[in-house]
């Protein structure tokens, strides 16, 4: 008999992640790659996974899980960079498939080491320093991408695509131990689904520019796990999770306001 908590968590992740991916894909078509990247990089599936973990486990379990999730954030930065490069010339399947294989390979290799939070912080600094610089030439202007005609079933197809990803990843994510739970909780489900939807609609290079823009928002995603790790034992699970989400939202909102200020600033 299936655990009702597992089913409830799966349904919650499906609704939350599919909703945010649909919103993000509409935003990038109407407002440009930066806004789409800011929305897609929010901790949608990760937040849902951590709510379920919080119900089932104590603060120490989640503190250790945050180390695994921070390691996953470095892999996600690499995933975004690889997709960005492949999407310049390849179709969606080799581009997304290659990026996902790199995420899995990097995560599996990195998990062989006995990571502590300070070590993973240094790793993220090194990885993001490289990926942000390497993706800079692909961060094109913030205008809307080319308009596309939308079929009546389009939104349902987007949600179904995300649902398939969520079901597959959730089935594989709950392995033994807090570190691996945190690692797979931060698997880039939303970003993968986003690429699967956006790439065929606007083309590889345009879709890749969203992932180039996502590198800096992902720094806020990583920073939130650092804060959660160091605060959860003192302020409690739910306050730490709320703080985690607040940091992600504040970081992305700050990036958007900074962009708006630079656009409106007189020459």
What is the chain's pLDDT, residue by residue, as a tens digit (267 residues)? 446 666 666 676 667 666 666 666 566 566 667 777 787 777 877 777 787 778 778 899 899 999 999 999 999 999 999 999 999 888 989 999 999 999 999 888 888 888 899 999 999 999 999 999 999 988 865 445 554 455 555 666 666 666 665 566 556 556 667 888 888 888 887 788 778 777 887 788 888 888 998 999 999 999 999 999 999 999 999 999 999 999 999 999 998 888 776 766 654
- Backbone phi, then psi, for 144, in 5-degree steps? -60, 150
Tokens of 9: 């968590």
Between CA 10 and CA 38 the distance in angstroms is 24
Nearest partner of 72 among 28, 44, 109, 98, judged by Cα: 109
Give me Rg for the CA atoms of the chain.
18
Residue 84 · residue 96 · CB < 8 Å: no
Taking residue 205's Cβ as centre, other Cβ atoms within 10 Å add up to 14
What pTM was computed for the model? 0.81
Nearest partner of 103 among 129, 77, 128, judged by Cα: 77
Between CA 70 and CA 91 the distance in angstroms is 30
Between CA 239 and CA 161 the distance in angstroms is 32
């Amino acid at each position: 008999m299936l655990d009702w908590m597992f089913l409830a968590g799966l349904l919650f992740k499906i609704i939350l992640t599919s909703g945010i991916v649909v919103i993000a894909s509409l935003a990038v078509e109407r407002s440009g790659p930066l806004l789409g990247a800011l929305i897609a990089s929010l901790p949608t599936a990760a937040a849902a996974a951590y709510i379920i973990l919080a119900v089932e486990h104590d603060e120490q379990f989640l503190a250790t899980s945050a180390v695994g999730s921070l390691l996953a954030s470095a892999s996600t930065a690499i995933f975004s960079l690889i997709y960005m490069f492949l999407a310049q010339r390849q179709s969606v399947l080799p581009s997304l498939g290659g990026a996902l294989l790199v995420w899995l390979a990097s995560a599996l290799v990195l998990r062989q080491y006995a990571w502590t939070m300070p070590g993973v912080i240094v790793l993220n600094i090194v990885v993001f320093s490289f990926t942000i610089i390497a993706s800079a030439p692909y961060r094109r202007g913030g205008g809307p991408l080319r308009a596309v005609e939308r079929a009546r079933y389009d939104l349902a197809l987007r949600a179904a695509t995300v649902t398939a990803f969520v079901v597959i990843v959730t089935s594989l994510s709950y392995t033994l131990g807090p570190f691996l739970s945190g690692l797979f909780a931060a698997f880039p489900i939303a970003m993968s689904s986003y690429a699967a939807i956006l790439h065929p609609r606007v083309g590889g290079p345009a879709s890749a520019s969203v992932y180039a823009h996502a590198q800096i928002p992902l720094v806020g995603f990583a920073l939130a796990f650092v804060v959660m790790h160091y605060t959860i034992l003192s302020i409690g699970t739910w306050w730490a999770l709320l703080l985690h989400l607040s940091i992600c939202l504040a970081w992305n909102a700050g990036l958007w306001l900074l962009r708006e200020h630079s656009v409106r600033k007189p020459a």
